[in-house]
Structure 1
Amino acid sequence: MPEDGHIRALWILETLAGLQQPAALKTIAERAGLPQTKAYRVLRNLQEHGYVDHIGRRGYRVGGRALALASLVGPRPALLHRVRPVLTRLSADVGATISLLLRSGAHRVIVLRADPPGTAVHPIAHIGERSPLTSGCAGAVILAFLPAQQVDEVLLAPESHPVRTDLPEQLAEIRRQRYAISQSANHPALNGIAAPVLDPDSGHALGSLAIAGHPSRVAEPVLHRFATPLLAACAELGPRLATVLGPSSSVRLESLDVTIQDVLDTHSVE
């Protein structure tokens, strides 16, 4: 555990970023390995300087100043430049919403989305949404292509429970066909198909690309037909995403690529 006060503050901020927002003081302290009294003092200091917001009894969330700093030093501009054209083209080709998701610990996070042109889409899944890797096709395809040790760590994480007993067989099937389909897994009114975006060097998942839509428009047979263009887009995205995220990105993502829905939804993506 860091002893220096400044490093401890960064440790707390990184810990908070990796938790479901807002997070309770007790949860933050336990995850950071600090007594609640010490964690509270650090959080209060971060709050006073705008790096953390206190949401009453709901707990704490990453503040605007921390998000502004992340936008300056993070990969988001490069991510938009290299990745968004692929999402936009695929969305136009299949006539459905496309999402790019990255791993954040035992969760997957929606970081970019493209909607089909000329349609009034009211998305159910928003940028910044986090769900366990063990729930839904977009998380499962990331999990299936992680190193074995990381898969075990995810399955042991509290966020992942309860784990389906057939999950190992499901992951093996995903590795075989290289995509997964889910029906109303995270949202009652959404069906989806997802495939992993792989690091061309390691073969491990950098994230996933998902196509989603209302069951009346994207029933299971339609989803299977989307597999070919989806896999082609993932193959195109792999090298682009690897250059943005760098080597060993599946390890480094952990808490560092979490996005906050309240903030990101206020910014339009050009």
Structure 2
Amino acid sequence: MSQKNKTVVRSMDILELFYDHPALTFQEMIDISQIPKSSVYRMIRSLEDIGFLEKGDDAKYRLGTLFLKFGHLVSSRIDLRQIAYPHMDALHERFHEAVNLTVREKDEAVYIEKIDQYQRVKLYTAIGRRSPLYAGACPRAILSFLNEQELRDYLERTALHPMALKTMTDETTIRYAVLQARRDGYTVSYSELEDHTAAVGAPIFDYRGEVIGALSMAGLEANYTEEIVRTYGVAVKEAALQISEKMGYDPSHIHYI
């Protein structure tokens, strides 16, 4: 066997360690593989350069997002919350508004992360809360980017109940809001989940191009002027797109119209 072939085989031996271990330190890879330290070091460097491995802030290595294009192995282990948090924190530091992260669970959006340390008035959204997909900027960011058949089926089977002063309960109004979201790349809500609050949300896509969650900023309705909404919309959309790319999404397939 040539030296090049040996290197390829040993590199595969390193990658195969991650079938049973979601994350490994440099020393753990040496201990488990029994490959010499110098060889493991060279292979890790090469695999990092290619994008097959990524090193986290915790000094542990994980399979790179490049693998998302080849199957479900990495996607099943990617923690959306972990990927999104730095982007959420950056938005919060910049604007001092509450920043929320939701995922879709059947016909609901579930809030799985929130940053609001700078916000004096605490809002409806809290980790673990559930909202129907038609109400609120973050849930409706998910609804707006479902395919047309999914959207139609959802609206046919869903009773539209008011949850606050301005909750949309008319299908025509919701469809118009969906169309507007697809044009702008973000959604806007006023007093839909809680009176006198507002939010701006944008969708998060996975490597298949399917919407899997959403990111939003929320605050007091009185502060959300048209100019502020445009500013927040651009910022949230960009952050959500960056998160999507780390989930393996190809931005050339952008869903905005």
1 CA distance for matches of 2:103 and 2:79? 15
1 CA distance for matches of 2:137 and 2:122? 21
Amino acid at match of 2:113: L
For structure 2, which runs of at least 5 residues remain unmatched after alignment?
Answer: 1-74, 162-168, 250-257
Change (3 A) 1:77 1:235: closer
Note if 1:153 corresponds to 2:161. Answer: no
Q: What does residue 235 of structure 2 align with?
A: 229
Amino acid at match of 1:218: Y
Deviations 1:170-198 (A, max 9, x none): 21221111111111111103111111112
Instruction: Give the C-alpha shift of residue 95 in structure 1.
Output: 1.2
Deviations 1:73-95 (A, max 9, x none): x9798334322111111111111
8 Å Cα contact 2:160-2:170 kept in structure 1: yes
| Structure of greater relative contact order (alpha carbons < 8 Å, 6+ residues apart) | 1
Change (3 A) 1:105 1:225: same
Instruction: Give the C-alpha shift of residue 120 in structure 1.
Output: 4.3
- Partner SS state of residue 221, structure 2: coil
Change (3 A) 1:84 1:121: farther
Change (3 A) 1:94 1:183: same
Q: What does residue 110 of structure 1 align with?
A: 111
Change (3 A) 1:184 1:147: same
- Partner SS state of residue 222, structure 2: coil
Change (3 A) 1:79 1:177: closer
Matches within 5 A, 1:1-270: 78-117=79-118, 119-160=119-160, 163-202=170-209, 204-241=210-247
8 Å Cα contact 1:191-1:219 kept in structure 2: no
Change (3 A) 1:218 1:163: closer
2 CA distance for matches of 1:183 and 1:169? 15
2 CA distance for matches of 1:191 and 1:171? 17
1 CA distance for matches of 2:148 and 2:187? 19
1 CA distance for matches of 2:123 and 2:219? 9
- Partner SS state of residue 223, structure 2: coil
Amino acid at match of 1:228: V
Instruction: Give the C-alpha shift of residue 236 in structure 1.
Output: 0.8
Larger Rg computed on CA atoms? 2
Change (3 A) 1:167 1:81: closer
8 Å Cα contact 1:110-1:129 kept in structure 2: yes
8 Å Cα contact 1:115-1:121 kept in structure 2: no
Amino acid at match of 1:166: T
For structure 1, which runs of at least 5 residues remain unmatched after alignment?
Answer: 1-73, 244-270
Change (3 A) 1:163 1:241: farther
CA RMSD between the two structures: 2.6
8 Å Cα contact 1:106-1:159 kept in structure 2: no
Q: How many residues align?
A: 168
